[in-house]
Chain A
Amino acid sequence: MQERVQKDHVARRSSELGASSRENLRFVVTDRRFYSILFAAAGLLSLLPLGLGVYHLHVMIVSLFYVMMASSWNLLAGYTGQVSFAHAAFAGIGAYTSGILAVKFGVNPWLGVMLGTVLAGLFGLGMGVLCLRMGGIYLSLTTLGFSEILRIIITNEYEITRGTMGLQVPGLVAEYSKVAYFYIMLGGTMVTLMVLYKLIYSNIGLNFRAVQNDERAAASLGVDVVRMRVLAFTVSSALAGMAGALFGHYLLLITPEIPSLSQQFLILSMTVIGGMGSFLGPIVGAFSLEIFAEYIRAYGEYHVLVFGLVALVVARLAPKGLMGIAEPYLQDRFKPARTAAAASG
């Protein structure tokens, strides 16, 4: 008798709570959960060198580079709606700064990476301020213009950059070792993800996500939208610069390919396919697409075309990307027991 009364009570409360109260409880992100997942994943990944050969390690290193680039671009395009085409260019700034300092002035590459990061961040700050009064398309065009100007300058200033031949640069470790670089890139990726996490899920993160959802409403609650957009530009550019510098020292050769539009295309595709505006999206997109690209490399010259077609189809049919498709299934997993009881009661 008492059991039935209780069940009725629960059922009535549920209906009072508004439409679909059962589906709307979601996975709450906490510091502890994030860091434990991050370090667990990193721990698993760090076991890879034991089993993987040199080629596969290379693929992983490249994937990690793209995880860094896609995630930092997502901060800009996914969270603050600024679709920048200059992200690869900022990686180029980081790479060339570090490379040129090492080659021309004998600067230690580790220091070079840090300086490259800072310089890329400064350029990003400038870019952000420049683009403040511009709406979507104009902003994209401006970043496109900036990216092309940079590439042309790099290609032309042969004396300093060795143009399209590429600049040969020293590595980050005395003895070249894919394993060492794997750990370095893994470290860089973790730093990137931790910075992004802090930014997106902290108090500042509330502001970011508010701006992402509704700029006007955010402003009406005191959010300085301008500062958020410039901050996003600065941080994402610095992270791109770091990724570019690390990658450059891994490749031992820095070419205008790094700041090119084709790289930008890859980064954009990975983020869009993975899921723009979600934290996991770019990570999923970068890993899956890079591995996918390696598979279709077997088809020879067709691989970029296939890649592009896949990107086009996914972007057109699933605008929220893979994460968007997976979301309903993930939601189900986190329904707590009490509402499940109410549903069956």
Chain B
Amino acid sequence: MILLEGRGLCKRFGGVVALDQVSFTVDERTIVALIGPNGAGKTTLFNLVAGAQKPDSGQILFAGEEITGMPANVTCRLGLARTFQVTRPFATMTCLENVGVAVVNSPRSGNSGNWLPAAHEYLKIVGLGDLAHSEARHLNVVQKKRLEIARALATRPKLLMLDEVLGGLNSHEIVQAVNFIRRLRDEHHLTVFWIEHVMGAVMQAAEKIIVLDQGRHLMEGPPEQVVKDPRVIHAYLGD
């Protein structure tokens, strides 16, 4: 069943065309990767879907309902969570409070009064349990990424959009992260839409890969197919 669908999405910034008639689908309970060379429009697509920006034309449907142009906080409440490529922690707040923000604003949280237990849980899931009372600005880069994911998970989303979470991780950490993402799909029944540059991870985990190039949908398909496609190779390597 299709959870997220984009139809004919277009976005320009001044004279630059960021996205040109991009259409795509993401099935429920799958891991779908979004790849493409720099400037392909990947983060712009994320921004349109999440509501951080409005498309010039086109439609976005989430679970069958149209969400085109809805602002970020509304899409979040509908079940769309996203992380940012460059992490955006709430610097002067503790890790616990960072996650707490997500908990208190999620309509699926249940007990809205006391957010502490839930926040602790999510921190434990990403392995930040010991840093609950540390201020976010004191975390290192990898810890900030984990916090970002904890926050996104705490909104209890149906769809999790990850923007290049593997950047800066060593090979051991990458393996851990990929396993973690797989568990999100299998145990927590999440759908994952994932922008990534680390191809190895993408090949292992993704069931479908969508390729963007210069704002256009180049092709999509299972990993084995994408990696062999001459258009994809050309897009990345040039002539």
Q: Which residues does A use to contact B, with CB under 8 Å? A: 13, 17-21, 23-26, 28, 203, 206-207, 209-210, 212-214, 216-225
Q: Contact check: which of B81, B89, B135 meets A26 at CB < 8 Å?
A: B135
Q: Is B178 an interface residue (CB 8 A)?
A: no
Question: Given A216-B52, A221-B105: A24 and B90 within 8 A (CB)?
Answer: no
Beta-carbon contact of B101 and A207 below 8 Å: yes
Query: Can you list 23 A-B contacts with CB-CB less than 8 angstroms, sorted by A residue number?
Result: A18-B139, A18-B143, A19-B140, A24-B135, A25-B134, A203-B113, A206-B93, A206-B104, A213-B89, A213-B91, A214-B88, A214-B89, A214-B91, A218-B73, A219-B51, A219-B71, A220-B50, A221-B73, A221-B102, A222-B73, A222-B106, A223-B73, A224-B73
| B114-138, CB < 8 A from A | 115, 130-131, 133-135, 138
Q: Is the CB of B76 within 8 A of A222?
A: yes
Q: Does B182 contact A (CB under 8 A)?
A: no
The distance from the CB of B156 to the nearest CB of chain A, in whole angstroms, is 10
Contact residue among A207, A213, A217, A222 (Cβ-Cβ distance under 8 Å from B77): A222
Within the complex, the shortest CB–CB distance from A277 to chain B, in Å, comes to 8
B170 to chain A, nearest CB (A): 15
Instruction: Please list the residues of chain B having a beta carbon within 8 angstroms of any beta carbon in chain A.
Output: 50-52, 71-73, 76-77, 81-82, 84, 88-94, 97, 100-102, 104-106, 112-113, 115, 130-131, 133-135, 138-140, 143, 151-152, 155
Contact pick for B93, options A13, A210, A220, A224, CB 8 Å = A210
CB distance from B205 to the nearest CB of A (A): 23
A18-B138, A18-B139, A25-B133 as given contacts; A223 in contact with B50, CB under 8 Å: no
Known: A203-B115, A209-B97, A214-B88. A220 touches B82 (CB 8 A): yes
Supposing A26-B94, A214-B90 touch, asked if A207 and B104 sit within 8 A by C-beta, the answer is yes
> In the complex, what's the smallest C-beta–C-beta distance from B82 to chain A, in angstroms?
6
Of B76, B89, B105, B115, most buried by chain A (CB within 10 Å of CB) is: B105
Residues of A within 8 A of B151 (CB): 221
Residues of A within 8 A of B105 (CB): 207, 221-223
Residues of A within 8 A of B130 (CB): 13, 17
The contact of A218 among B51, B101, B135, by CB within 8 Å, is B101
Which residues on B sit within 8 Å (CB–CB) of A214?
88-91
CA distance A13 to B131 in the complex (A): 12
Is A216 a contact of B134 with CB atoms below 8 Å?
no
